[in-house]
């Protein structure tokens, strides 16, 4: 029997999973390049080389597409980055060591995740950090509040034990981590123009090492030579 003719105006059905992923990748890249508000379904379709009808076949409307970008592109990165922090509030005998271990893993994961996903730093700064960001409320729902509070509690315990600097505001530590990793990657084109000599050598590993050096120096009180302790 002859194959059934496709109704006029209806897009062909390619590999559903592959096409959906392609459209999500395209939307995410455009959101990072030109902002969520300035990106239309038509823009996404044109960049992906399909019709707007094809985009609507996979996503009923623009809001559903934005939700999918947050849920399937941003949320997994957030979960991966903050996974090293325990979710419970148990008292830790050595909070400084626990905080240091968490910071190392968080910074490394964040720097490498952002380097592997060039869209992440600009998207985060423009659409989450920015007061007018279109993704802020959607992203806030995915932040692991229990783990963020746990990291804050570790820093506070370290301050009470005298191994973390008293001038540190524990609740701002998270912002320091994000600023020291995402900001250098988001502004790479700027500082590479200011310091072109050797700028290409400043990769994700170098950014992570720099962030950890600044955080360690700013958070932890060094012990005098011969003194005990792990900070």
Neighbouring CB atoms inside 10 A of 59's CB total: 20
Global pTM?
Answer: 0.85
Query: What distance lies between CA 151 and its chain's CA centroid?
Result: 17
What secondary structure does DSSP assign to 151-206, as a single string? HHHHHHHHHHTTSB-TT--GGGHHHHHHHHHHHHHHTHHHHHHHS-TTGGG--HHH
pLDDT of residue 193: 85
Domain residues for the domain of 121 are 66-219
CATH number at residue 82: 1.10.357.10
Closest CA to 82 of 25, 164, 139, 160: 139
* Interatomic CA distance for residues 166 and 184, integer angstroms: 27
Q: How confident is the model at residue 30 (pLDDT cuts 50, 70, 90)?
A: very high
pLDDT at 11 over 70: no
The number of domains in the chain is 1
User: For residue 220, which phi and psi values (nearest 5 degrees)?
Assistant: -95, 140
In a domain, 5, yes or no: no
Q: What is the mean pLDDT of residues 192-215?
A: 86
Q: Which two tokens stand for residue 190?
A: 């700027």
* Interatomic CA distance for residues 32 and 38, integer angstroms: 11
| Cα angle 31-36-42, degrees, rounded to a multiple of 5 | 80
Q: How confident is the model at residue 230 (pLDDT cuts 50, 70, 90)?
A: very low
- The lowest-confidence range among 56-60, 119-123, 194-198 is 194-198
In a domain, 30, yes or no: no
């Amino acid at each position: 029997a002859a194959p059934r003719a496709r109704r006029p105006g209806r897009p062909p059905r390619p590999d559903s999973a592959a096409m959906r992923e392609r459209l999500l990748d395209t939307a995410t890249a455009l959101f990072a390049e030109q902002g969520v508000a300035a990106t239309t379904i038509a823009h996404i379709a044109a960049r992906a080389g399909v019709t707007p009808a094809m985009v609507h076949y996979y996503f009923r409307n623009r809001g559903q597409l934005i939700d999918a970008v947050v849920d399937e592109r941003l949320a997994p990165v957030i979960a991966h980055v903050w996974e090293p922090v325990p979710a419970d509030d148990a008292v830790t005998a050595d909070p400084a060591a626990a905080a240091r271990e968490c910071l190392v893993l968080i910074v490394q994961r964040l720097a490498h995740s952002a380097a592997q996903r060039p869209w992440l730093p600009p998207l985060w700064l423009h659409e989450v950090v920015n007061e007018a960001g279109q993704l802020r409320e959607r992203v806030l729902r995915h932040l692991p509040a229990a783990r963020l509070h746990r990291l804050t509690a570790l820093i506070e315990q370290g301050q009470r034990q005298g191994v973390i600097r008293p001038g540190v505001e524990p609740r701002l530590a998270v912002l320091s981590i994000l600023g020291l990793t995402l900001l250098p990657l988001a502004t790479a084109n700027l500082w590479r123009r200011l310091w072109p000599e050797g700028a290409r050598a400043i990769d994700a590993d170098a950014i992570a090492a720099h962030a950890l050096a600044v955080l360690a120096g700013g958070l932890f009180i060094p012990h005098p030579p011969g003194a005990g302790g792990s900070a």
